[in-house]
């Protein structure tokens, strides 16, 4: 006689993550696993799931939460969206390798490091905080390069390159999913293609990935895709392109050409996947996008200030509006904001993406969902940190019918789990880890806006992480059941 299950979802519409049509069934959870799907005997706790969708927990394939696991272990902004696993360490920024106490870069979006040195000790520091959700890591090229050679604008010496390779290899051995780059950022932009090939090759013995914020996402998008494909091919690894977009009005529509290149490479043996966020604005450290001696006025006119320690009154306002209020030109406003004492900590939101390109991306079968949210909770952060997953399900599935619900769930669950080596997760099936989301498909909706981002979504009834109820009807239970995941290993 089997033990009574701890948690039973009764008559849920199960969307199992595979892309198959939903079906009505009971789902039982015992320990950290799903132990039955079908018709199950009474459990210790019964949840009436009639009319609700039960699916695997969502994977945020593009997060910058590696520092947030320590600063905000409740991970409230992700958990309330149904995210049960983050892929962190993106865009070349990661918390490893780390020299305790060293500040690597002003305004480093992964946050300052303290006690840890490598992935193992970082994972231990995170687990001591009892995080609410799971975390898988990439090792970031910007961090590796800064660790070994600071912000030097030159190629590495042979010794420096060997040391950098050692850091990538060590992170891979300890469970990283691959190498990430941010080739528009300092210091990644000083790296030639060969340097990246040499580092990405360290992921090859593990079957790991090359994950890239490409060198260009605007006028030279297609050349940047060519470079990314060449790097992956020469290094012998799979390629994952981050936050795929064609930035700037004159480039809108070019994501179709870029996806065609990705498909051609995929067909010829270099696997290619991508991610997208469902918003027309990007966000990041403002100083990284601006050349103060040639400020791009068209770009600046589409910029909103998210976080600005020296001018908190600018937060949530567009640059032209700020300029008009102070009697500045747009260029003067940008200069003033960036040259203020804490100007390097300024985070901006820039409206650079075409709505139709988002839909083109979402329709592609190998495009996953990644929030790219920056977990700086002061000021007025980009709403994607709070609303990404529900926004896909509300706006692009229910309202516009861009992709069917089962396909959207697949993009958020089994597909990224297979790609990122998240073993034993991403399906609602017997024996799989019990990372689950219960939501109402008729009412699920993001509520975070540019004007008021810090609002939890509606329509998410329950989120289960490793068998524990982590979130229920707006309440964060503090279960702290998240785990540090290692590439292709069950944990």
Token code pair at residue 383: 């709403």
Q: How many residues bind to Zn ion according to rule CB under 5 A?
A: 2
Q: Closer to Zn ion at the Cβ: 9 or 289?
A: 289
Distance from C-alpha of 274 to C-alpha of 212, rounded to nearest angstrom: 9
* Nearest in space to 419 (alpha carbons), one of 282, 274, 248, 317: 274
Distance from C-alpha of 462 to C-alpha of 474, rounded to nearest angstrom: 8
Q: Closer to Zn ion at the Cβ: 161 or 374?
A: 374
182 to 17, 55, 249, 284: CA distances (angstroms): 30, 32, 22, 12
Q: Sheet harboring 238-241: ordered strands across?
A: 139-140, 178-182, 209-213, 238-241, 272-276, 367-369
Q: Closer to Zn ion at the Cβ: 17 or 302?
A: 302
Q: How far is the CB of 91 from Zn ion (least distance, A)?
A: 3
Contact window for Zn ion (CB under 5 A) among 64-72, 85-93, 143-151, 229-237: 85-93
Q: Closer to Zn ion at the Cβ: 186 or 435?
A: 186
Q: Closer to Cu ion at the Cβ: 89 or 441?
A: 89
Contact window for Zn ion (CB under 5 A) among 65-73, 91-99, 144-152, 188-196: 91-99
Q: Looking only at residues 357 through 376 of this chain, which bind Cu ion when binding is defined by CB under 5 A?
A: 372
Q: How far is the CB of 399 from Cu ion (least distance, A)?
A: 26
Choose from Cu ion, Zn ion, none: what does 388 bind? Cβ within 5-8 Å by kind: none
Q: How far is the CB of 39 from Cu ion (least distance, A)?
A: 44
Which sign, positive or negative, has the C-alpha torsion 38, 49, 424, 32? Answer: negative
- Any bridge partners for residue 99, and if so which? none
Which sign, positive or negative, has the C-alpha torsion 432, 272, 385, 124? Answer: positive
Phi-psi region of 483 (alpha: psi -120 to 50; beta: other; left: phi over 0): beta
Q: How many residues bind to Cu ion according to rule CB under 5 A?
A: 3
Instruction: Answer yes or no whether residue 90 interacts with Cu ion by CB under 5 A.
Output: yes
Q: Closer to Zn ion at the Cβ: 91 or 479?
A: 91
Q: Directed axis angle between helix 193-200 and helix 158-173, to 10°?
A: 40
Contact window for Cu ion (CB under 5 A) among 82-90, 100-108, 336-344, 478-486: 82-90
Q: 70-83 as b/e, with b when 16 or more CB fall inside 10 Å?
A: bebbbbbbbbbbbb
Name the closest residue to Cu ion (Cβ): 91
Q: Closer to Cu ion at the Cβ: 370 or 390?
A: 370
The residue assigned the tokens 């090792």 is 139
Instruction: Answer yes or no whether residue 354 interacts with Cu ion by CB under 5 A.
Output: no
From residue 91 to residue 130, the character string flagging contacts with Cu ion as x (rule: CB under 5 A) and all else as - is: x---------------------------------------
DSSP result, 181-250: EETTSTTGGG--HHHHHHHHGGGGGGT-EEEEE-S-SSTTHHHHHHHHHHHHHHHT-EEEESS----SGG
* Nearest in space to 12 (alpha carbons), one of 59, 41, 50, 61: 50
- Cβ atoms within 10 A of the Cβ of 15, count? 26
Choose from Zn ion, Cu ion, none: what does 464 bind? Cβ within 5-8 Å by kind: none
424 to 16, 124, 420, 430, 463: CA distances (angstroms): 13, 22, 12, 11, 18
Q: Closer to Zn ion at the Cβ: 221 or 464?
A: 221
Q: Looking only at residues 202 through 221 of this chain, which bind Zn ion when binding is defined by CB under 5 A?
A: 213
Q: How far is the CB of 17 from Zn ion (least distance, A)?
A: 26
75 in Cβ contact with 131 (< 8 Å): yes
Contact window for Zn ion (CB under 5 A) among 84-92, 338-346, 437-445, 459-467: 84-92
Among 7, 53, 79, 91, binds Zn ion (CB under 5 A): 91
Q: How far is the CB of 178 from Cu ion (least distance, A)?
A: 15
Q: How far is the CB of 347 from Zn ion (least distance, A)?
A: 13
Instruction: Answer yes or no whether residue 447 interacts with Zn ion by CB under 5 A.
Output: no
Which residues would be at the binding site for Zn ion (CB under 5 A)?
91, 213
Name the residues that contact Cu ion, by CB under 5 A. Answer: 90-91, 372
């Amino acid at each position: 006689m089997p033990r009574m299950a701890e948690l039973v979802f009764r008559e849920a519409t199960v969307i199992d993550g595979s892309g198959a049509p939903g079906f009505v069934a009971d789902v039982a959870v015992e320990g950290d696993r799903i132990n039955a799907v079908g018709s199950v005997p009474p459990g210790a706790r019964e949840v009436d799931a009639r009319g609700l969708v039960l699916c695997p927990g969502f994977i945020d394939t593009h997060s910058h939460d590696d520092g947030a696991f320590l600063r905000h272990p409740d991970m409230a902004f992700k958990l309330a969206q149904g995210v049960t696993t983050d892929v962190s360490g993106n865009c070349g920024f990661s918390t490893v390798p780390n020299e305790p106490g060293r500040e690597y870069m002003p305004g480093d979006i992964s946050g300052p490091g303290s006690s840890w040195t490598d992935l193992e000790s970082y994972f231990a520091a995170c687990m001591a905080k009892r995080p609410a959700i799971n975390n898988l890591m990439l090792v970031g090229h910007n961090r590796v390069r800064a660790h070994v050679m600071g912000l030097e604008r030159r190629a590495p010496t042979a010794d420096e390159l060997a040391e950098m390779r050692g850091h990538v290899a060590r992170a891979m051995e300890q469970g990283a999913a691959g190498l990430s780059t941010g080739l528009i950022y300092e210091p990644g932009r000083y790296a030639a293609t060969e340097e990246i090939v040499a580092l990405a090759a360290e992921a090859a013995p593990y079957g790991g990935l090359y994950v890239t914020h490409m060198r260009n996402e605007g006028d030279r998008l297609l050349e940047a895709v060519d470079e990314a494909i060449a790097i992956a091919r020469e290094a012998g690894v799979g390629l994952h392109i981050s936050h795929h977009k064609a930035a700037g009005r004159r480039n809108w529509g070019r994501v179709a050409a870029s996806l065609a290149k990705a498909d051609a490479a995929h067909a010829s043996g270099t696997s290619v996947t991508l991610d997208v966020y469902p918003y027309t604005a990007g966000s990041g450290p403002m100083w990284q996008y601006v050349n103060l001696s040639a400020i791009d006025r068209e770009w600046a006119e589409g910029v909103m200030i998210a976080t600005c320690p020296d001018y908190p009154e600018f937060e949530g306002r567009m640059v032209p509006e700020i300029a008009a209020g102070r009697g500045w030109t747009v260029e003067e406003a940008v200069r003033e904001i960036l040259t203020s004492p804490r100007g390097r900590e300024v985070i901006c939101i820039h409206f650079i993406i075409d709505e139709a390109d988002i839909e083109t991306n979402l329709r592609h079968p190998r495009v996953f969902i990644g929030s790219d949210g920056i977990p700086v909770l002061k000021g007025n952060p980009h709403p994607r940190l709070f609303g990404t997953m529900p926004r896909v399900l509300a706006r692009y599935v229910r309202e516009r019918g861009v992709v069917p619900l089962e396909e959207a769930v697949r993009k958020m669950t089994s597909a990224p789990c297979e790609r990122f080596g998240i073993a034993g997760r991403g399906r609602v099936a017997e024996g799989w880890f019990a990372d689950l989301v219960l939501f109402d498909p008729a009412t699920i909706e993001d509520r975070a806006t540019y004007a008021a981002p810090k609002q939890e979504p509606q329509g998410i009834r329950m989120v289960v992480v490793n068998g524990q109820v982590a979130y229920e009807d707006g309440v964060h239970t503090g279960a702290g059941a998240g785990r540090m995941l290692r590439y292709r290993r069950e944990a």
